[in-house]
Amino acid sequence: MRVAALLLLLAVVLVLSLAPLHEHALLAALVSGGLVALGLLLQQGWRLRRLQQWLRAPKTTPAPLVQGPWGDLAYRIERLLDGHRRKLDAERQQLSEFLSAIEASPNGVLLLDAQEQIAWLNTPAAEHFELHPQRDLRQRITNLVRQPAFVSYLQAGLFAQPLALQQRDGRHLSITVRPYGKGARLLLSQDVSDRERAEAMRRDFVANASHEIRTPLAALGGFVESLRSLPLSPSERDHVLALMQQQAKRMEALVDDLLTLARLEGGARPPTDHWFSLDELVDRVRAEAQALSAGRHRLHWPPSSGLELAGIESELHSALTNLLSNAIRYTPDGGQIELLIKTQTDGATLLAVRDSGPGIAPEHLPRLTERFYRVEASRSRESGGTGLGLAIVKHIAQRHGAELRIESAPGDGSLFGLIWPALRTRDGGAAQALGEESAPARWASA
């Protein structure tokens, strides 16, 4: 538009200059034409200057509102810059999400440059290697993590197998290194203490189980040898056979308990909607306990509770039988044994076996549920114990979300109780008052 006006003006000036006019009029026309052209030039120059200033300034201010081609140019540049800025923001956001994801990983991630200096690390890596996430950046890792096994692993450069490293605080780490880029390395660290502990427990368990099986097996071998090589009278022979049967039973009990544990470990989670009658279960364990005690103890039973419990009935049966069998086996003849059933205020049910036996010293209490842990090994074995009973009970309790409570003191008897969760307890309709009425007064206060 402005260019057209300028051309028009120039054309007028040209026509005027060609026309036979007075010289002054021609000069005036030329001067005014020149002034207009100069004005237009100055205007364009000013616009260009504003555009330049905006381009030099940080790109947070919007483009100057100039008209004409400079304005158009400014608008296009601004759009281009906006596009770049948006792309950069998206990439920044992506990077920050990526770093947050690595940060959230339980595994340590640490980047080393070609000089083995720490370029970046996440918090788990800082914890694993006891490093400071900021202060130790750009430090040579071997100056900070000085365990010889780690230093030589890094220097050998053979990373096909991960490095197992034990930290000063006893934690076990598994470290994997992957080279990348130009001499850089990615270090991944994982705290495998739990795995190591489980592995150590598994090794102990296998060793203990083998030992437990080998003992009766060796005894059986000895008896077989006696039968073959010694001239035994019929009564001596019967005696040896009875001892052999005892050892065979011991092995059988052990294998049964091992299989029960294996089944519990691999079994599906007990259902919360399969209900069974507690009274019927108590009737069954009562008959078994009476047979095992054979009149040697005074047994007390709870009144009918009318409760229904949810879970796997055979497992609760096994847990109660184990607790009652322990009470019977460890309580001297003439002692008292009681099965208690009490509903708690929170709706959970306490199922407990209390005995007037020898009781257990406090130092043993935390370890009683460990596999093969016995306070007195000989006493346990003599009475047919496998050392796995309470481990089985604890497992069953855990699977049902129940708690195993043990209260005992030497000379004061013992109480082994399961607190069956409220979620798995309901009134079967025929509930009667629950409590300790059936127990003698001395027992209620114990």
Site residues for ligand ADP, 405-424, by CB under 6 A, read 414
Residue 255's contacts (CB-CB under 8 Å, 6 or more residues apart) are: 213
- Residue (178 or 379) nearer to ligand ADP, CB: 379
What burial class does residue 302 get, using C-beta atoms within 10 Å of its C-beta: 0-12 exposed, 13-18 middle, 19+ buried?
buried
Binding to ligand ADP by residue 357, rule CB under 6 A? yes
The string of DSSP codes covering 402-423 is -EEEEEE-TTS-EEEEEEE-GG
Please work out the total of residues on this chain that contact ligand ADP, with binding judged by CB under 6 A. 21
How far is the C-alpha of 312 from the C-alpha of 283, rounded, in Å?
17
CB of 33 or CB of 387, closer to ligand ADP: 387
Number of separate helices (H) and strands (E) present in the chain: 13, 13
SS3 133: coil
Span near ligand ADP by CB under 6 A; candidates 35-43, 125-133, 155-163, 384-392: 384-392
Q: Which stretch binds ligand ADP (CB under 6 A): 40-48, 113-121, 278-286, 380-388?
A: 380-388
What six digits make up the tokens of 335? 């002692």
Q: Which amino acid is at 418?
A: L
Q: Tell me whether residue 212 or residue 279 sits nearer to ligand ADP (CB atom).
A: 212
The two structure tokens encoding residue 4: 């057209």
What 8-state DSSP symbol labels residue 63?
A: P
E strands within 333-413? Answer: 336-343, 349-355, 403-408
Residue 115: DSSP 8-state: T
The single residue among 29, 118, 307, 360 that binds ligand ADP, judged by CB under 6 A, is: 360
Minimum Å distance from CB 375 to ligand ADP? Answer: 3
Distance CA 257, CA 268 (A): 18
118/254 with CB nearer ligand ADP: 254
Residue whose CB is less far from ligand ADP, 297 or 424? 297
Q: Which is nearer to ligand ADP, 302 or 387 (CB)?
A: 387
Closest CA to 179 of 151, 158, 210, 163: 158
Distance of closest approach, residue 442 Cβ to ligand ADP, in angstroms: 18
Give the strand pairing for 349-355 and 414-420. antiparallel
Give the separation between CA 402 and CA 425, rounded to whole angstroms. Answer: 11
Beta bridge partners of residue 172, listed in sequence order: 166
Which one, 304 or 318, has the nearer CB to ligand ADP? 318
Q: Tell me which stretch binds ligand ADP (CB under 6 A): 4-12, 90-98, 309-317, 356-364.
A: 356-364
Among 385, 396, 402, 404, binds ligand ADP (CB under 6 A): 385
Q: How far is the CB of 369 from ligand ADP (least distance, A)?
A: 7
Nearest approach, Cβ of 190 to ligand ADP (angstroms)? 34
Torsion of CA 394, 395, 400, 404, to 10 degrees: 10
Binding of residue 258 to ligand ADP (CB under 6 A): no
Closest distance to ligand ADP from the beta carbon of 299 (Å): 14
Q: Pick between residue 88 and residue 207 the one whose CB is nearest to ligand ADP.
A: 207
Figure out which of the listed residues 190, 336, 386, 425 binds ligand ADP, where binding follows CB under 6 A: 386
| Amino acid found at 13 | V
Q: Which residues contact 267 (CB under 8 A, 6 or more apart)?
A: 312, 399
Q: Which of residues 297-336 bind ligand ADP (CB under 6 A)?
A: 326-327, 330
Distances (CA, A) of 293 to 256, 296, 297: 21, 5, 6
108 vs 357, beta carbon nearer ligand ADP: 357
355 is a site residue for ligand ADP (CB under 6 A) = yes
Query: Among residues 398 and 432, whose Cβ is nearest to ligand ADP?
Result: 398
Stretch that binds ligand ADP, among 165-173, 178-186, 374-382, 436-444 (CB under 6 A): 374-382
CB 187 to ligand ADP: min, Å: 45
How far apart are alpha carbons 17 and 55 in whole angstroms? 43
Binding residues vs ligand ADP (CB under 6 A): 326-327, 330, 355, 357-358, 360, 368, 373-376, 380, 385-391, 414
